[in-house]
Amino acid sequence: MAGTEEEARYSRQLYVLGGGARRLPGSAVLVSGLRGTGAQVATALVLAGTGRVVLHDCDAACTADRTHQFLLGESDLGQNRAKASQRALAELNPSVVVEAHSGKLSEAFLASFQVVVLTESPLEEQLRVGDFCHAQGICFIVADTKGLAGQLFCDFGEHFAVDDPAEGDPVSAVVQHISQGNPGVVTCMGTENFQDGDLVTFSDVQGMTELNSQEPVPVHVLDTSRLEISDTSSFSPYRCGGLVSRVQEPEECSHEPLCQALEKPKIQLANPEDLSRTRSLHAAFRALHAFRRERGCLPRPRAAADAERVLELARSLGAQQGPLDEDIVRAFASVSAGDLCPVAAVVGALAAQEVLKAITRKFQPLNQWLYFDALECLALPGAAELTEMDCAPRGSRYDGQIAVFGANFQEKLGHQKYLVVGAGAIGCELLKNFAMMGLAAGPDGELIITDMDTVALSNLHRQLLYRSADISEPKSVVAAAAVQRMNPDVRVTPHQNQVGPATEMLYRDNFFRHLDGVASALDTIEARTYLERRCLRCHTPLLDSGTEGTRGNVLAMVPSLTDPLRPASTPRDGTFPLCTLRHFPRTIQHTLQWARDEFEGLFQLPAEQVNQFMEDQDFLKQQLPRKVLEQVWDSLRERPRDWQDCVRWARRRWQSCYHDAITQLLHIYPPEHETSPGVAFWAGDRSCPHPLTFDPDNDTHLDYVLAAAHLFAQVHRVPPCRDRAAIQAILHGVLLPPFAPQEGLQIPLTEEPAEEAQVSTDHRQLTQLTQDLVQRRQELVGDEEAQSPLMEPIHFEKDNDVHIDFITAASNLRAENYGISPANWLTSKRIAGRIVPAIITTTAAVAGLACLEVYKLVWGCQDLSCYRNSNISLSACLLLRVQPPSASTYWYRGREWSCWDRLEMQGVGADGQVVTVQEVLDWLQRTHSWTVTMLLCGDDILYDSKADAEKRAQDQARRLSEISRDAKKLQQQDLELLYICEGEDAEAEDTGPPLLCSLP
């Protein structure tokens, strides 16, 4: 049956956190410091469903907080930050208790929390609270951001148990054979993810069933397909089936208290080359605390004397840690008074993930320090010349940003024209950051959001711009309104369109060329690849962001500088042979895909065919396969009159799938069948099934009938009923004739052939079937009660509970047929719905990293070394940022070209007419001295020198506005032409830069 409302809301997060997520509602967390970093931590915890989140801050909100504190509104200025933030956070998730505290952090107060997070705290308070938490077994986290750098520290005590350190499903492999021996040898499909000493368990093994109930056993990896296990010589002979799965054992970690870890820091590194840099940042943060104690304030922005004083203090603190990178310390100190929303987003998200680790005991916690910086931003051309005056406070909400980049840069941000494609999880975080940054907040700026989706319940745990009241509303419209509440100056426009081939009339080349940048927040490889091609064509900067679980990445595509993006794809759903799905499933993935196919074949395709038959008078003239006509006839013949008919239909379908089809298969291939003498048919990859007997008191049987009947009723517009007792009463009255297997039926043992064997057609029967269909259509057209369209096709929707009810029950019944372990409702939803696990922490961190690249694009940076591609893994608390690859080049006709190069010509001649093909050929000859032998537009050949003279003359005279059979090619305004020049091979891979012809 359907999951709870909590599962529906948190399903994507549950796939990341696993069973440990059940601890969240009973947990209590203190977040001290409600500026930007604290706001990010608290928001992530509230969205994630943490039971009680207490906010602590002693200070009042000021105008400058609004550079990075997205929870505050204009009316909150002057009020306590914690109390003002509490009101906004309470709206995010009604199931979370959000409280505010503005008093001292006493030991009695701290003792009530499982996790304490300090942000923006003096070092003295960090040490005091850290010592208490360590002594009391309270997980303690410090998160701090200063300008372009951030610091994270974790102390989870000396004996912290991690129940589930790994991410994703347990490593497993399908068993093909197990030998009887000492040791036994398991042959399986792939051992790459197993290691010597791994403990494994077995399930669904047929024959050698002793393994299914055995305690975990260690393995020795022999090669890519064989594992050695313990003694199996006394076990029953292996027959078929089975899954071998690695057991993830709990691990323990030990942390030192802050007072010790401060002096001998263990610093997490994604790249060992960063050790000196991170040690210097460790010293710089300590020196900053000392400077603040000494002066009572942070260093003034770009004040050289203040930066030098921080460096002096760092020298005295960092000698025992190794060489000090003085340039890093100076750069850090010079902008440490700054506050940047993207930096707070990254560090706050990392800290929030550590809180979730502490509560759920899922994933290894940070050991113990992590430093993050984007100080490469200070290498932007001209940034080093900024003065104290350029970065001095203006009394503006952007003062924290001005402290880093100067007042002139803030004006540039306001002039930007940006497109955000997708207003889902990453899109929401990008838009929040953009609002804080003031992107498009000037009089000629524009921020365009486009998303064709509506808000759903499952969005609310990670998409912070939406509330329960917004469910079913257009995402882009709701998001735009939220952006304007955060920053009324941002000029934001919502669109409800997909950016793709179908909308090229709206988003033409000129549209893309007038943008300063595009931020991609899409969730499919196809959509991301399309957007990359459009931006490449129009020389528009693109930032591509993606996440899966705790992993995420940001790729920057900068015209003329970087290589074009090629978003990596990892298949999330396998493609299985039809014979495996239909007759020989081995895993729950097979039965779930079979259930998906059943759904489409029962509730979508038949309805579409019937509606087409009713609406298209020429439907029967299309020489359709007899099978299609029979399906239409069966759909019309089976039309239910009432709900009881729907239940009876579902009962018959159950019998057909789980009893009759299996009985027929065993009639053809009995359990004792042999492929050759002594070689069992049901062995290895083939598990011998058994038919099921229907029981109306069996929950899974009843779940199937209820879901199938509900969907069948919806297809035929019959009011459904959810009364299980009433359905059971109907089922007790259903009598079905005994099944008689067919003789001579053939079942393929390998992949289905491309074309099914031709079945001799009885033309007399086909003619009769066609006549019956014509008559039935006339009857239905004349029926006043018949609706148009006659049936309602149902497309599978992963967030529809009834759809998942059907998939889960249908799959688990088939799994029972074949002795496969069933999957619960939530797992079935993830696999069948091909759902990408997602969590707010990853999306927030990825969006923050993307916005750091926006700063560089707005600056107009043409230095590749300033840009970064980023990869994160929050489960391992790793963050790797590297320079993007430079634009690739190639040689063509004696010179080097960049992948960004293209030829451009006006498509309108001096006479105001669209140019002809001959004029294009002349232009290439005149401009580049290239004699073209073939000119193409997509698949259309516009000119071929090998054609006969008459054909060549016709082609040469044609205007570009007349040549395309595909009108979409003209929708972009620029026609992209390819060419082959004299002396080139038409089959060669080397081609010249594309030619863009601008049409009116």
Q: Which residues are part of the catalytic machinery?
A: 579
331: left (phi over 0), alpha (psi -120 to 50) or beta: alpha
Task: Judge contact between 291 and 310, C-beta under 8 A.
Answer: yes
Cβ-in-10-Å burial (0-12, 13-18, 19+) of 364 comes to: middle
C-alpha dihedral over 795, 800, 802, 803, to 10 degrees? 40
What is the gyration radius of the CA atoms in the chain, in angstroms? 33
SS (H, E, C) 687-708: CCCCCCCCCCCCHHHHHHHHHH
20: left (phi over 0), alpha (psi -120 to 50) or beta: alpha
Can you say how many angstroms the Cα of residue 229 is from the centroid of all Cα atoms in its chain?
38
DSSP 8-state secondary structure symbol assigned to residue 277? H
421 contact partners, CB below 8 Å, separation of at least 6: 427, 450, 451, 499, 518, 519, 520, 521, 522, 527, 531
Which helix H or strand E contains 427, and what residues bound it? helix 425-437
Of the chain, the end-to-end C-alpha distance in Å amounts to 58
3-state secondary structure of 538: helix
Task: Judge contact between 554 and 853, C-beta under 8 A.
Answer: yes
List the structure tokens of 760.
């001799």
Distance of alpha carbon 13 from alpha carbon 282, whole angstroms: 33
50 contact partners, CB below 8 Å, separation of at least 6: 24, 25, 27, 29, 96, 355, 359
**Neighbouring C-beta atoms of residue 633, cutoff 10 Å:** 17
Distance of alpha carbon 515 from alpha carbon 314, whole angstroms: 44
Q: Where are the alpha helices (DSSP H) in 716-860?
A: 724-732, 763-782, 801-817, 825-832, 840-859
Pairing of strands 199-203, 674-676: unpaired
List the structure tokens of 308.
């030098």
| Angle at the Cα of 570 from the Cα atoms of 568 and 574, rounded to 5 degrees | 150
Candidates 129, 136, 55, 58; CA nearest to 90 is 55
Can you say how many angstroms the Cα of residue 58 is from the centroid of all Cα atoms in its chain?
38
Which helix H or strand E contains 918, and what residues bound it? helix 917-928
Give the sign of the dihedral formed by CA 491, CA 493, CA 494, CA 499.
negative
Q: Residue 738: CA atoms inside 13 Å, Cβ hemisphere, count?
A: 1
3-state secondary structure of 684: strand
Q: Write 78-83 long-range contacts (CB < 8 A, 24+).
A: 81/34, 81/35, 81/57, 82/34, 82/55, 82/56, 82/57
Candidates 331, 307, 326, 306; CA nearest to 384 is 331
The residue to which tokens 């298969």 are assigned: 665
Distance of alpha carbon 844 from alpha carbon 33, whole angstroms: 19
Residue 174: φ, ψ to 5°: -80, 130
Distance of alpha carbon 637 from alpha carbon 502, whole angstroms: 38
Candidates 77, 123, 144, 148; CA nearest to 301 is 148
